[in-house]
Chains A and B, each alone.
Chain A
Amino acid sequence: GAVVSQHPSRVICKSGTSVKIECRSLDFQATTMFWYRQFPKQSLMLMATSNEGSKATYEQGVEKDKFLINHASLTLSTLTVTSAHPEDSSFYICSARDSRWQAFFGQGTRLTVV
């Protein structure tokens, strides 16, 4: 099946710094990518939908100035957590949709803000 690579898999950062997470579709073009957040013992919550070349659509309650999403190419979307705080610590997962509208998930990024 198609492969979506997410990097890094784990990151620890200091409070107040910014962290960038990359999501790449390795063997297909993804016009649409999705970013999710998963809290411990909870389900995945959709944060935003990003379309290549246009601004991301954020879900209600998600701060777009805090979670910057860039989808500059058909194979790469990035999520930048700006001025991270401990409450931003979570598991972030991206998914990329191919031309047949099938979605493939990355392996996720465990963010810890200390």
Chain B
Amino acid sequence: AQSVTQPDIHITVSEGASLELRCNYSYGATPYLFWYVQSPGQGLQLLLKYFSGDTLVQGIKGFEAEFKRSQSSFNLRKPSVHWSDAAEYFCAVGASQGYQKVTFGTGTKLQVIP
């Protein structure tokens, strides 16, 4: 069975600092990996996804993520955080790009301080 672990429940960073959110997955075959962001009271917005090819994926809002098969990780990064990035971030793994049987992690809440 596929699973996703986001070890950090809550992270606080200063505005302008770099950010890395961790995500580890468990899946038997080549995974389809996603990062979503959820602002308070909002639905989920897709930041980026990895299906195949280049293991460094660029997303929206200046985010990127790197797929490391050897570490079963798909960490999300941003070089300089803005106050508007404060939100909850979810990593997800799926068996296909069709979003069937997508499993979400428990989320990491990001707080940005001035």
Contacts and interface: CB of A to CB of B under 8 A. Distances in A.
Interface in B11-46: 36, 41-46
Contact of B43 (A6, A32, A41, A101): A6
Given A43-B105, A44-B104, A97 B99 contact: yes
A90 interface: no
Contacts, number: 47
A107 B43 contact: yes
Q: What is the interface of chain B mostly: helix, strand, loop, or mixed?
A: loop
B98 interface: yes
A4 B43 CA distance: 9
B41 A107 contact: yes
Contacts of A102: 46
A42 B106 contact: yes
B90 interface: yes
B105 A95 contact: no
A101 to B, nearest CB: 5
A106 B106 contact: no
Interface residues of A, number: 23
Contacts of B52: none
Given A6-B43, A105-B43, A107-B42, A46 B106 contact: no
A9 interface: yes
A105 B102 CA distance: 13
Given A107-B41, A107-B43, A43 B99 contact: no
A44 B90 contact: yes
A107 B46 CA distance: 13
Interface of A: 4, 6, 9, 32, 34, 41-46, 49, 93, 95, 97, 101-108
Interface of B: 4, 9, 36, 41-46, 90, 97-107
